Amino acid sequence: MGLALGGAVALSGTVLAAPAEAAPSADTPVATTQLNYVAPAEIHYTWAGASGFRYQLGIWAHDFWADYPGVTPPEHAGPDDLATGTDVISSRSGATVTQQHRSTGATATVAVPVGQTYRAASGWSVVTQDAAGALHILRAAADGTTTDLPVTGFPSGAEPSTFVTGGSVRRLAVVSTVDGVASAGLIDLADGSFRTYITGVGASPRITFNDRWVVSGSKSIRVDSEPGTEPGTITTPYLGSAQAVVGDQLLAADPQFIPGGEKPQLTAVSLATGAKRIVLEDSDGAYTATPDGGLLATGGPSSSDWHVYRVLPRPDGDVSAEAVFTVAPNQARVSGLMMAGGELLMFGNATVNAGWDAAYAVPLDPTGKPTGTQVRRSPYVASSPCLSGDAACPQLEALGDGRFAFLYTGTDGKESVHVAGLTTDTYSTEPTGDSAGRLGTGTGRYVLYNGGTPGIQKVADFPRGADGETALDRGRTAAAVWGQRLWAPGTTQGSVVAYDLKAKKNVATVDTGAPCTPTDIQAVNTWLYWSCGSSGPAGVYDRATSRAIAVPAGQARLADGYLVRENRTTHELLLTDFHTGAATTRTVAVLPTADQNTGGNTGRWAVDRFGGNVAYLTDKGQVAIVTAGVPTSPLAQMEAQTDPQAGGPTLSSPWRPVWQLNKPSTWTLTLSTGSGTVVRTLTGSSTAAAVRPAWDGRRTDGTQAPRGTYTWKLTAAPRDGQGPDLALTGTTITD
């Protein structure tokens, strides 16, 4: 086991022209997804009000608007009603401040008098300072003039340094210095009175407030407290990251550095009781206090599930948080595609670190629609260099059990087959001793390798995620792996022989009717595809019905009842459905003229051989998914690893059987004594098309089951609802 390192113009007259060639009709995708950067898109709030907010994304200085869902916009009542200022946007040009009520579009204008300097705006109020240092509150009057309300109570000789808005449209915070001592106080914008609340706040204090509390550093005090009341002390490790006071709660984000294993959070500390609680898990982004006494905060478990939350006060002084906007993730470049067992695997670098390529999985329903968010499913991997003539690079092969294979070139120039996908920190490897090779097909534990040296062909075996071994070393021919069988040309023209990789012998010979020794063989379920070369002929043989079906020639990828090929001239992605015994072909997509990468299967399109559909890269670098529309084969076992767990099973070393099936399932595994008493029942859903339970040797009640022989029964139901359930049985021994 290896450790991963880390418009139109009108013309007079008539012009005759040749009719334009119609573009081929193509299937409409059932869904489109993309590879998302792991880091969430950075959002910056440029205004927040009672009806919605304005924001910018990343480094782009372009404003976007978002409305709160299900919120009735506040009505406009004018500057005489300060409360309606929670939805006012102010903009300043010289000595003129223009105010607009966003919900109604009503505007007002405040003219800053000569001799006064603009300091801040909150709601309908504009705060200025005159040459003598006195503060004023300006508001628009109904007749278009500007009213001037002097601020009273501001300390004589005080030098204001900071004006803080947010949290209220009735109040505004001012940090000022008298005789070298900095203090924080609030202006009551309704009557113009000022009161100092906290002294000794330091040179650059962080002030948060609402209509109930003022907080600076570790000190807090009620706004309605009696004059002379001393501030109280707050006990919380997040004081340096205080974001807002909402209700009776000080909301604080985690500090910049977080202990390993811990998640960033938005925490509430009650200023009334000192009680602490988590308001938002996974909250690590932008915050802004809102003039209606709330807070906007970003958060979520991943960039694919990243939201803006609106935190508002409750009547009891606590707070509530509701997701009001989804932040779209930034798109990363897809370098390779795989599909297997109802999973889409996108290969590429979703980080800002060069060379950090990995496979990211998105679960799909039977029609191909995503049912979950993107999750990294492999370590960061380095693949082999691209070879001239590769249809796709890097070379990738989805194995149908949650894993995928790729080639890696070592410092000695020799290649190894690597398999990854079950964990994000390990991979399995098997050296080939060769270089400049190509991956063939693979399923479950077995991967076919065609060496760069003429005549070399190997099958690498990766049982249960362990490091590999070479299961077969043979002369190179057309070949395919499906389950535990290798299919290769027989000794007579058109024959194909199945070699059992476990039994180490030939177990079947099929006469496909091919008029040549095939140059390409592929196998999926009972279907055998053969080709006599790029000019054909080509066909599919159905082992279940002994039918030979002619199909179009050309490099193709076999799936369950159909095959897909790309016309590199017309850029059509063509699906040939042969499940009825007659081949019919349709265009499922018209691919971009310019490749996003080197093209081809696993490059810019992919097929799910394990009961799935078709995916391809669009001209925008996104991944579109098309439903194949072909009935899938009945659920069947392809290979199984059910040998007992040596020295167990135990909690630390459970029995971990693997049943490789041909399509996704939901399953139930029962373990019974010889007399038929059920000891344990396990249930789950397959990883791609593989069933991977784990039994720790204990009964349902948690007690240890005695040593002995137990009968297991696996019942699997196809997730696509096509065909009967599958029942398998056998025994296992506990030590």
Dump pLDDT digits (tens) for 114-154.
999 999 999 999 999 999 999 999 999 989 999 999 999 99
CA 488 vs CA 415, 493, 515, 606: distances in Å: 23, 12, 15, 24
User: Alpha-carbon distance 206 to 185, whole Å?
Assistant: 12
Are 520 and 535 in contact by the 8 Å Cβ rule? The answer is no
pLDDT at 19 over 70: no
Q: How confident is the model at residue 66, as a pLDDT?
A: 96
User: Alpha-carbon distance 572 to 592, whole Å?
Assistant: 9
Average pLDDT over residues 184-211: 94
Q: How confident is the model at residue 18, as a pLDDT?
A: 31
The average confidence (pLDDT) of the chain is 91
More confident residue, 1 or 647: 647
Return the ∠ at Cα 631 (arms to 629 and 634), rounded to 5°.
150
If phi > 0 it is left, if psi is from -120 to 50 it is alpha, else beta; for residue 306 that is: beta
Phi, psi (5° rounding) for residue 239?
A: -60, -35
Structure-token pair, residue 631: 């009935």
CA 365 vs CA 316, 342, 604, 627: distances in Å: 44, 6, 21, 10
pLDDT at 287 over 90: yes
Q: How confident is the model at residue 197, as a pLDDT?
A: 97
More confident residue, 694 or 388: 694
pLDDT at 227 over 70: yes
Q: How confident is the model at residue 20, as a pLDDT?
A: 37
- Which residues face 685 on adjacent strands? 666
Dihedral of alpha carbons 544, 548, 549, 552, sign? positive
pLDDT at 13 over 70: no
Q: How confident is the model at residue 58, as a pLDDT?
A: 80
User: Alpha-carbon distance 510 to 434, whole Å?
Assistant: 32
User: Alpha-carbon distance 577 to 629, whole Å?
Assistant: 9
Q: How far is CA 629 from the centre of its chain?
A: 27
Give Rg (Cα) of the chain.
Answer: 34
User: Alpha-carbon distance 79 to 90, whole Å?
Assistant: 13
Q: Is 710 exposed, middle or buried (0-12, 13-18, 19+ CB in 10 A)?
A: buried
Length of the chain: 735
The structure tokens 């007079």 sit at 12
User: Alpha-carbon distance 174 to 723, whole Å?
Assistant: 72
Nearest to 360 by CA among 617, 607, 33: 33
User: Alpha-carbon distance 593 to 210, whole Å?
Assistant: 58
Q: What is the pLDDT of residues 363-407, one digit of tens each?
A: 999 999 999 889 999 999 888 877 776 767 788 999 999 999 999
pLDDT at 1 over 80: no
User: Alpha-carbon distance 730 to 735, whole Å?
Assistant: 17
User: Alpha-carbon distance 425 to 417, whole Å?
Assistant: 17
Q: What's 435-486 look like in SS3?
A: CCCEEEEEECCEEEEECCCCCEEEEEECHHHCCCEEEEEEECCCCEEECCEE
Are 689 and 663 in contact by the 8 Å Cβ rule? The answer is yes
Dihedral of alpha carbons 368, 374, 377, 383, sign? positive
pLDDT at 17 over 50: no
The structure tokens 């059932």 sit at 30
Average pLDDT over residues 506-510: 97
pTM: 0.84
pLDDT at 279 over 60: yes
Q: How confident is the model at residue 603, as a pLDDT?
A: 85
* pLDDT above 90 coverage of the chain, percent: 78
User: Alpha-carbon distance 564 to 612, whole Å?
Assistant: 13
More confident residue, 287 or 3: 287
Q: What is the pLDDT of residues 94-111, one digit of tens each?
A: 999 999 999 888 899 999
Q: How confident is the model at residue 15, as a pLDDT?
A: 29
Nearest to 662 by CA among 543, 523, 562, 541: 523
Q: What is the pLDDT of residues 327-358, one digit of tens each?
A: 999 999 999 999 999 999 999 999 999 989 99
Structure-token pair, residue 249: 């709660």
Q: How confident is the model at residue 236, as a pLDDT?
A: 66
Are 438 and 479 in contact by the 8 Å Cβ rule? The answer is no
Nearest to 239 by CA among 223, 250, 230, 231: 250
The structure tokens 């992605």 sit at 573
* pLDDT-derived band at 12, boundaries 50, 70, 90: very low
User: Alpha-carbon distance 735 to 646, whole Å?
Assistant: 7
Average pLDDT over residues 527-539: 95
User: Alpha-carbon distance 438 to 442, whole Å?
Assistant: 12
Q: What is the pLDDT of residues 650-691, one digit of tens each?
A: 988 999 999 999 999 999 999 999 999 999 999 999 999 999
Are 31 and 627 in contact by the 8 Å Cβ rule? The answer is no
Q: Is 513 exposed, middle or buried (0-12, 13-18, 19+ CB in 10 A)?
A: middle
pLDDT at 557 over 90: yes
Q: How confident is the model at residue 263, as a pLDDT?
A: 67
User: Alpha-carbon distance 491 to 510, whole Å?
Assistant: 11
Are 713 and 669 in contact by the 8 Å Cβ rule? The answer is yes
Q: How confident is the model at residue 204, as a pLDDT?
A: 79
Nearest to 361 by CA among 382, 340, 330: 340
Phi, psi (5° rounding) for residue 563?
A: -135, 160
Least confident range from 96-100, 250-254, 289-293: namely 250-254
Q: Is 23 exposed, middle or buried (0-12, 13-18, 19+ CB in 10 A)?
A: exposed
pLDDT at 272 over 90: yes
Q: What is the pLDDT of residues 603-650, one digit of tens each?
A: 899 999 998 899 999 999 999 999 999 999 999 999 999 999 887 899
User: Alpha-carbon distance 642 to 463, whole Å?
Assistant: 11
pLDDT at 60 over 80: no
Q: What is the pLDDT of residues 154-186, one digit of tens each?
A: 999 999 999 999 899 999 999 999 999 999 999
Q: Is 182 exposed, middle or buried (0-12, 13-18, 19+ CB in 10 A)?
A: buried
